[in-house]
Amino acid sequence: MQTTINHDKITTINPATGKAISSYDQTSTQQISQVVGDARTAFEKWRKKDILERCDYIRNLEKILKKNQDLYARNITQEMGKPIIQSYAEIEKCAWLCNYYSEYAESFLREQIIPTEFRRSFVSFEPLGITVGIMPWNFPFWQVMRFVVPTLIAGNVAILKHSSICVECALNIKDTLDEAGFPSGVFQIVIGDYRAGEALVQSRIDAVSVTGSVNTGKRVAELAARDLKKCVLELGGSDPFIVLEDADLDHTVPQAVHSRLLNTGQSCIAAKRFIVVKEIADKFTRLFVQKTKEEIVGDPMDTKTTVGPLVRENQRQALIRQVADAKSKDAEILLGGRIVEGTGYYYEPTVISNVNHQMEVLREEVFGPAAPIIVVENEIEAITEANNSEFGLGASIWTSNFERGIRLSREIHSGVVKVNEMVRSDPRLPFGGVKFSGIGRELSEFGIREFVNVKSIAVKDITPKILVE
């Protein structure tokens, strides 16, 4: 049954001021059907282009991203509150992604010859068709580009249903691909709330990629499963940051603070549980609090600001509830724990100790600037604690022993493990999670193959018999 969409407008809000920015009409059900039809028509032409030609379009996209970086960065910051320096970095990362795939995609999708008894047998990587991206607000350009770039190079066409929080960013992305010369219908956007996403998934599309909450992922997977449509789901995370007794704290602590407070803590792969071996726990905690105090909370348009507002008041209320719950159960608030008075959805960077699994800060994903510190006896307890979560997206281990880091990384139940480095997505490496953190992979050669038909072809040579009279 198709979802019906009314004509309510979507209004975007500047989280630093709480004031409305703009209002937009939602895409109607009829318009969504037209978008899907246009995509199907475009696919039949786009899929026939040589992959090297499709790579040229992505090279153009890289140039446009760099040219319009100021506009895009400012719109990111205005719509979702990211500190402007981080918004610039997001656009730069998108340009890097374009450069990477335009250089390597052809080799990733090149036919692979498989030796068999046949005259010729090989694997061909062929596009699936219409892919839909349902994307979140926290990295409004990066999350979209890491879906769009590989799927378009692979020969698919794409439809974006972005978060209703960042409509202008969605329009910017559409303008960027148009300016890069992509043919009509190859990339389109739909504006709307969750109903628009549901309508798209139930339409005549072939695959869907979701980055968002666990509940969103489950709902999309349920709808897609009715027609056995391919899904890639990148969902929540509760990433452990494991500090062993031989860690170099001068290197580790600044990375710990940055990993927790990047994007004001609103990241699936932010460090969310700091698991510290008892031997160095007091020193780590003291340095962590000291370093956190140096963060600058303020106007996200100011280049000196390192912590901006939370994206919406309901996001701040969720954090208030989680911290209050911890405090009511005897956690100690070492720093922060309060809203920042004034306009905007600000919350003080917060450090919490004496936490346990009865508290929401450990049982739920904390999407804001709050850091719970867990003290353990040794590495065995550290790994057990790290794996004690329904999520499995990323994790980091901090140790001066190279081999120890590798050994312990194999014990972590997650899709990504970094040793002596904070968790970040990287175009060169596959990205995704296990457990409630999702299904499938993005980025690298593994990501570009998620939305292709991996086709086996075998040809037997039959030499015709020659009749002799």
Q: Which residues are catalytic?
A: 234, 268
Query: For the CA atoms of the chain, what is the radius of gyration?
Result: 24
β 332-335/350-353 pair status: antiparallel
Torsions phi, psi for 259 (to 5 deg) = -65, -30
DSSP 382: H
CA dihedral 138, 140, 146, 149 (to 10 degrees): 170
User: Looking up tokens 């895409």, which residue turns up?
Assistant: 27
Residue 91's closest CA among 139, 57, 138, 135? 139
Residue 274's closest CA among 407, 395, 391? 395
CA distances from 117 to 122, 123, 299, 460, 462 (A): 12, 15, 67, 8, 13
> Which residues, 6+ apart, have CB-to-CB distance to 85 below 8 Å?
303, 305
CA distances from 442 to 144, 166, 347 (A): 11, 22, 32
Q: Judge residue 356's burial from the number of C-beta atoms within 10 Å of its C-beta, 0-12 exposed, 13-18 middle, 19 or more buried.
A: middle
- A 10 A CB-CB count for 302 gives 15
CB distance 438 to 235 below 8 Å: yes
Residue 430's closest CA among 449, 412, 443? 443
Task: Note the Cα 85 to chain centre separation in Å.
Answer: 19
Residue 287's closest CA among 336, 347, 351? 351
Q: Report the DSSP beta bridge partners of residue 25.
A: 9
Amino acid sitting at position 97? L
- The three-state secondary structure class of 141 is coil
> Which residues, 6+ apart, have CB-to-CB distance to 250 below 8 Å?
none
* 411/308 Cα distance (integer angstroms): 35
Residue 216's closest CA among 234, 237, 228, 199? 234
Residue 277's closest CA among 251, 253, 248, 247? 247
